[in-house]
């Protein structure tokens, strides 16, 4: 699984990454993580509000920080 966190590196972006890592670990999944901070690259994903979560090249969430439970649900829906 390829996971990207889109955002400037602010506290919300870091919290999204933390929640996503917790969810991946809790589900026993393997994932690579990348934190995309370049505004042009973020915009190329069609994201207007950060932070955003991209899983396997699909934006699944943007503009808020979910709980680890919410991320787990997103991950389960993909499997």
pLDDT, tens digit (0-9, with 9 covering 90-100), for 6-45: 999 899 999 999 999 999 999 999 999 999 999 999 999 9
pTM: 0.93
Q: Which domains does the chain have, with CATH numbers?
A: 2-64 (3.40.30.10)
pLDDT at 64 over 90: yes
User: How far is the C-alpha of 1 from the C-alpha of 41, rounded, in Å?
Assistant: 20
Contact 9, 39 (CB under 8 A): no
Task: Kindly list the catalytic residues.
Answer: 10, 13
Q: Quote the pLDDT of residue 52.
A: 98
């Amino acid at each position: 699984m390829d996971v990207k966190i889109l955002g400037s590196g602010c506290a919300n972006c870091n919290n999204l990454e933390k929640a996503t890592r917790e969810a991946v670990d809790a589900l026993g999944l393997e994932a690579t993580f990348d934190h995309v901070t370049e505004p042009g690259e973020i915009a190329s994903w069609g994201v207007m509000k950060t932070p955003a979560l991209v899983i396997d090249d699909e934006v699944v969430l943007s503009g808020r920080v979910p709980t680890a439970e919410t991320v787990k649900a997103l991950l389960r829906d993909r499997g």
